Chains A and B, each alone.
Chain A
Amino acid sequence: MPEKRVVLANCGVIDPKDIASYIEKDGFKALKKALKLPGEAVVEEIKASGLRGRGGAGFPCGLKWDLARKAQGDEKYVICNADEGEVGTFKDRYILENDPFSLIEGIAIAGHAVGAKKAFIYLRAEYRFLLDLLEKAIDQAKKKGFLKHLDIEVRLGAGAYVCGEESALMDSIEGKRGEVRYRPPFPPTSGLWGKPTIINNVETLMNIPRIMFNGAEWFGKMGTEKSKGTKVFSVSGDVGKAGVYELVLGSSLKELVEELAKAKKVQAVQVGGATGRIIPANMLDSPLSFETILGAGAITVFDKSRDIIDIVYRTLEFLAEESCGKCAPCREGTEAMAGILERFTKGEGQEKDITVLGELADTMMLASMCGLGQAAPIPVMDSLQHFRGAYDKRIRL
């Protein structure tokens, strides 16, 4: 399947500093259309489109909105998660740099749909260089009268990977340490300051104006049965052309890394960042979709010269560092795994380590409070499954 620029349609086309160039490209027509409809009808349109969250978990967007819309209370919030901290991800940076207006339009439609009067964009501290551009874009939209129903405020993160996790992100906006919350309750019923809240990834919100403008039916024609639309990928590592690519969902990993990003002699690909899957070269034909492999779209390619165990060790070291520390399975499990893997990198593995890694993985997946700890064992278990030989060679008998 070919590259298709839906989310990125305006990137490199409009001037991100000038709202007039966006309006020329039918900008804010989707919002005007949405504002003429009751919020419920907008939610129904998004539901009908089959749009699923682009931040990694793939939750149906319309369903999330519906829950927040129906939740009791006048005070509701929309949050745009621009805390793009996943290792190997930079697509949201590219989107914010090139088309902040589509995002603002998407947030404005979301606010109307769920009945929120206040929205936050939570921007990671590393992207502070984009703050000015983003705030000026919001100002321009306000001056043009597009934001009469919704106040949008940018909140800056302060450097914490875990704040990309929605409950930690909300605690951070509330001014606290960014630690994850127990759930339920979920944000659509009890989110920011305990009020009904929808949190959507930048890319998810970018799809909203496209769906409202072209219709749910148009959107539903792209992709697979359970994965509609396109996905934006950040490709880096051992490739000839690192960068941002948008493909129709269901396209193959091979097409993305070999044909578009010009990777050669691929040994493995990490799909979805630090907590993502490790796909060996012989499985490159796998389609990219929610049914198969996807995550938030971070694609890191490793060629045949790389040591897979070193890569997995570095990944776990990262997760151990970024664990918020609130729950023991994640806090202790990531440390323990990193420790074992470090020994393997030095050729000092032990036979029983393999069993211990499996036991740690089971506990972490079952008992961690959030996605970080639940998914942290994935690279370890994937590499054990596909590259067991590399481990066996480092076991000291």
Chain B
Amino acid sequence: MSKIGKGTKPRSQAKRDLLVLLERAQSRSGYLSQETIAELAAALGLSISEVYGVATFYSFLSIKPQGRNVIRICKSLPCYLKDAQTIIDGVRKAIGIEPGETTADGKFSFELTNCIGACDKAPAMMVNDDVHGELTPKKISKILQAYK
């Protein structure tokens, strides 16, 4: 609880910190557990459903445990035109899971995402905060090796 802070602020002020606190909890623990959501709600004087509502609205927040590294391959048109499907298949083969899944060793989660703003380097993907562009199926295993 001490990490989150006490419920001393007025309600509007509490709410304004909610997304920032959720983002922090997400980067600290890799996901937002039921306990985290309940703790945050108590600390900010909000209902659990309000906190849950925000936690599930945004694609970079997750209520399921995620791998240590999150791979997000862009599936939007500019990448699709540059054969993003071969990259999706390449990652699938390299780590042996489908989009939406996490590897058994907890190393990688794998997601498809909408435009990441790297269309000039299509096909592109993000691993955590890093953007990797001009991908080919061959480049994938080398890129993923760098993540522990």
Contact = CB atoms under 8 A, between A and B. Distances in A.
A160 B77 contact: no
B62 to A, nearest CB: 10
Contacts of A176: 15, 18-19, 54
Contacts of A90: 117-120
A126 B74 CA distance: 11
Given A128-B129, A161-B114, A314 B61 contact: no
Contacts of B18: 175-176
A158 B22 contact: yes
A162 to B, nearest CB: 9
Contacts, number: 119
Contacts of B16: 173-175, 193
Interface in A238-252: 238, 242-244
B117 A84 contact: yes
B12 to A, nearest CB: 7
B76 A87 contact: yes
A161 B116 CA distance: 10
B81 interface: yes
A160 B115 contact: no
Given A175-B17, A175-B20, 8 more contacts: A158-B22, A158-B61, A159-B60, A175-B15, A177-B57, A237-B119, A242-B78, A242-B120
A4 interface: no
B114 A87 contact: yes
B23 interface: yes
Contact of A174 (B15, B113, B117, B131): B15
Nearest to B79: A236
A204 to B, nearest CB: 18
Contacts of A159: 58-61, 113
Nearest to A85: B115
Nearest to B116: A126
Interface in B91-148: 113-122, 126, 129-131
A88 B77 contact: yes
A261 to B, nearest CB: 10
Contact of A193 (B12, B59, B120): B12
A374 interface: no
Interface string A245-280: 000000000000000000000000010000000000
B120 A243 contact: yes
A311 interface: yes
Give the size category of A's interface with B: 35 or more
Interface of B: 12, 15-20, 22-23, 53-54, 57-61, 76-78, 80-81, 113-122, 126, 129-131
Given A85-B114, A87-B76, A175-B16, A126 B120 contact: no
A300 interface: yes
A314 B114 contact: no
A236 B61 contact: no
B129 to A, nearest CB: 5
A157 B57 CA distance: 11
B120 A244 contact: yes
A176 B131 CA distance: 27
Nearest to A175: B18
B15 A87 contact: no
A238 B58 CA distance: 31
A159 B77 CA distance: 18
Contacts of B12: 193
A127 interface: yes
Contacts of B61: 158-159
A127 B117 contact: yes
Nearest to B115: A87
